[in-house]
Amino acid sequence: MQRISSVQTAVTGTGTYCTLRSELPAVFAVGSVLFHGSILAASTINIVAAAGTTGGTIQPLIMGSDGTFRAYGAPITSSAAGAVSFIQITSPICGVAVQITGAIVGGSLYIETTAVIL
């Protein structure tokens, strides 16, 4: 068992941040997928807005065994400084990330993803 994490300390623009992925899936040949290695047994997403933040839209993402990231829950709006969201994902998944879909206004976000790998 191993713990991994990714941190971005001053996010303001749209895009995908703090991506953690297991070794799944790995393309082995045309038309087939080789599944191997590790999974993320438990993951967390921690988002904090810096002073001055007045707007922004955040979408937590998880990756299934098909290698596609999908929305995890409803989008989150950041409208003030302080804790925005702390999400615990206790089901095994293959990846986790945070997508900023509406630019952060007036400040920035601290984003951290962590996972335990089996």
CATH topology of domain 2-117: Jelly Rolls (2.60.120)
pTM for the full predicted model: 0.84
Give me the residue label for tokens 């994902």.
Answer: 89
Walk along the chain (118 residues) and give the pLDDT tens digit of each residue.
788 899 999 999 999 999 998 875 554 445 544 444 678 889 999 999 999 998 899 999 999 888 899 999 999 999 899 999 999 999 999 899 999 999 999 999 999 999 998 7
